[in-house]
Amino acid sequence: MTISRMLLGAASLALIAGMAHAESGTADKRIALSNNYAGNSWRQAMLQTYEEIGKKAVADGVVAAADAYTTSENQATEQAAQIQNMILQGYDAIVLNAASPTALNGAVKEACDAGITVVSFDGIVTEPCAWRIAVDFAAMGKEEVDYLATRLPDGGNLLEIRGLAGVFVDDEISKGIHQGVAEHDKFKIVGSVHGDWAQDVAQKAVAGILPSLPEVVGVVTQGGDGYGAAQAFKAAGRPTPLIVLGNRQDEMKWWAEQRDANGYETLSLSIAPGVASLAFWVAQQVLAGEEVPKDLTVPFLKITQDTLDESLANTPEGSVANVTYSLDDAKKVIADAK
Amino acid sequence: MNPLSKPWIWSWLAAAGAFALTLGLTSGRGAGELGYAALSFGAFAAIVGLGQMLVITLGPGNVDLSIPATMTLAATLALKTMGTVEGTAFVGLAVALGVGLAAGFANYMLILLLRLPPIIATLAASLIYQSLAIWSNRGLRIKPPRELADFATGQVMGIPNVAWAGLLLAAVVWVVLERSVWGRWLLATGQNTHAARLAGIPVEMIRAATYLSVAVFASLAGYLLASFSGGAALNMGTEYLLMSIAVVVIGGSSIAGGNSNVPGVWGAALFMFLVVSMLNSYGAGAGVRSVLTGTIIIAIVIAASTRRVRA
């Protein structure tokens, strides 16, 4: 009696385990996040999103582990070593925000050869065996100018605030902006500075170039620099131009204040840090045996005059507007790419 | 006496040159604006530069690489403590300076007790400070109280308040270095630590005081910068690492120590802002800008040091 009950128990346990396995197929898989940098609010929001979704996925039994690792010095060599450690630790998949599009290719190839799924996002890698979740940064830059063209039909002088010199993303967004200006030839870029995606650096650079500039009607930015630009215009006693923003909470708050005071209207766009959660689900889908195209595109998060209040309410003080992607979102992105 | 024999004159000449070249583009328009901006932003570089100058004066191998992390940690904790509540500016300042003292003390203890070279000690410590800053607030940007923000972006008699703070600090450092026994001790230590020790100078006390000063200056700069730019960000200190060393060298202080130069630090701080503004105004790309900035810095350093040798 006791023995048969035990057998029954064991059998039903096996059955349950088998069912769970059939449902996700990844319950025993371990996914690691390799991140190259944590020193700004965007990366912090990214890590938090990954942590939340990872914890939930582990609790739900979708995966066995979803750990996050960040290198301290933002160096490709350091991250390559980190990836090699992950190979030794036996992870099944690595979700990767890379310090360099090419310098990690060797380590990524080693991981692939060891049978590990590598999904790169935001900072993508060019190694063919890895998956890439990229943002069409050039389109983002172009959209800024397209928007300005609808708001300022007479055109005028633009100030461009770029990101960190020498970084792929900076070149791409700037390329899109210049493409947009070539199309809307009523606009002219009269000045270009590097704001390093940081408000204080942007503020400093804009304050330095403003005295030599004629009247500026619009500012095209890359995110994390709009508020600093606004401060610099204010300090110089110039009228506030149309500044395209980058989804930071302080930018949105400033926008809402200006809107309430004088009807200020603009557009805000950037990639949501939650793209890490999308990468996580893509990795899970690859591990589950789904066929996933190697190149995926994630839409950028756009905030307009109509959605400003909602986004502002949903964004923690001092953080950046975010969306957390679900498994269904990932499936949709995969289906769109097929 | 030939004014060109003063090593600090070169950074001021360079700053004036960059200023004039920028205005040449606008035929004189915006001079006040540019000068005001240079004083505002130069103040932060000058404050951290003064601190770095004291450390470098201590002699070969002495440098504080934890300045950016100390700035970030001090600013983050100060702004978190104030939490945008009015009337807390002095509490925040006390927190910031307290963080500076603690960081300076920790740096010095690492150097003294573990006998680590200052470069290694301060670099390692900076990782800890930066991690503490991340851990304490996860990168969220808290706004300064309105009155403090108004003060930091305000002006008195046409000079930005932050520049007043930087100028006052420079004056204090100058008096201490040039007119006090402590300053003489510091210079003597920097010129020859061994001789200084034999002469009965309390070398370790001087070193401790110097490492405390630089960290306190960095925390003050962080506090002011965060108040000025609308909140502390995790990457706010990044550019002040090289900046703090550059303004010391351009300012005419000897990188080998034992010879410091307060007016030069301010000239160099203004120059570092103005040269970027000038190159931006002329539309130079990032690559050209870096190359030209580097070339100009080397030229100034050569000019300043050659003159010193001849004098």
Its ipTM equals: 0.82
A-chain residues near B48 (CB < 8 A): none
Same domain? A180 vs A247: yes
Contact (CB<8Å) A235/B25: no
What secondary structure, in 3-state letters, does B8-44 show? Answer: CHHHHHHHHHHHHHHHHHHCCCCHHHHHHHHHHHHHH
B281 neighbourhood in chain A, CB within 8 Å: 191, 208-209, 211-213
Give the span between the Cα atoms of A58 and B196, in whole angstroms: 63
Q: Which of A207, A237, A319 is facing B41, going by the closest CB pair?
A: A207
B75: nearest Cα among B225, B205, B176, B182: B225
Helical segments of chain B, H only: 9-26, 31-57, 67-82, 89-113, 118-137, 146-153, 161-179, 181-191, 193-198, 203-228, 240-250, 262-281, 286-310
Reported as a pLDDT band with limits 50, 70 and 90, residue A127 is very high
Using CB atoms, which residue from B225, B273, B290 is nearest to A208?
A: B273
Query: Does residue B117 sit in helix, strand or coil?
Result: coil
| A258 & A285 share domain | no
And the tokens for B294?
Answer: 């580097």
Q: Residues A124, A165: one domain?
A: no
What tens digit of pLDDT does each residue of A5-38 get? 655 555 555 544 444 443 468 889 999 999 988 8
User: How far is it, in rounded angstroms, from Cα B173 to Cα B265?
Assistant: 11
Domain extent for A326: 26-135+272-299+322-337
Enter the tokens of residue B296.
Answer: 């100009």
CB contact under 8 A, A211 and B283: no
- Residue A8 has what pLDDT? 55
Q: From CA B24, how far away is CA B36, in angstroms rounded?
A: 17
In 3D space, the residue among A229, A250, A300 whose CA is nearest the CA of residue A271 turns out to be A300
Stretches where chain B sits below pLDDT 50 are: 310-311
A147 and A209 within one domain: yes
A247 lies in the same domain as A279 = no
Q: Is the pTM of this model over 0.90?
A: no
A178 Cα to chain B: minimum distance (Å) = 14
Asked if residue A218 and residue A177 are part of one domain, the reply reads yes
Do A108 and A184 lie in one domain? The reply is no
Most confident of A15-24, A76-85, A193-202: A76-85
Contact at CB, A211 and B286, closer than 8 angstroms:
no
User: Is the residue at A14 inside a domain?
Assistant: no
- Rounded CA separation B80/B36 (Å): 29
With beta carbons under 8 A apart, name residues in chain A contacting B225. 200
The CATH number covering residue A326 comes to 3.40.50.2300
Q: Are residues A181 and A206 in the same domain?
A: yes
- Identify the CATH assignment for B3-310 out of 3.90.380, 1.10.3470, 3.10.450, 1.10.287: 1.10.3470
Which residues have C-beta within 8 Å of that of residue A7, sequence separation ≥ 6?
A: none
Model pLDDT, residue A19 = 45
Cβ count near A263 (within 10 Å): 8
Give the pLDDT confidence score for residue A6 in this predicted structure: 57
How many domains does one find in chain A? 2
Same domain, A68 and A116: yes
Residue A254 φ/ψ, nearest 5 degrees: -60, -40
Read off the pLDDT of residues A131-181 as tens digits, 9 standing for 90 and up: 999 888 899 999 999 999 999 999 899 999 998 887 778 888 999 999 999
Strands (E), A172-246: 187-194, 218-220, 242-243
**Domain residue spans of chain B:** 3-310
Bridge-based pairing of strands A131-134 and A295-297 is parallel
**Residue from B39, B79, B140, B228 whose CB has the most chain A CBs within 10 Å, to mutate:** B140
Residue at B113: amino acid letter: L
Query: Which amino acid, B222?
Result: G
- Minimum Cα–Cα distance from A316: chain B residue: B140
- Radius of gyration over alpha carbons of chain B, in Å? 19
CA gap B174, B260 in Å, rounded: 9
Shortest alpha-carbon distance between residue B281 and chain A (Å) = 5
Of B127, B140, B153, the CB nearest to A317: B140
| A296 close contact with B: CB closer than 8 A | no
> What percent of chain B is modeled with pLDDT above 90?
40
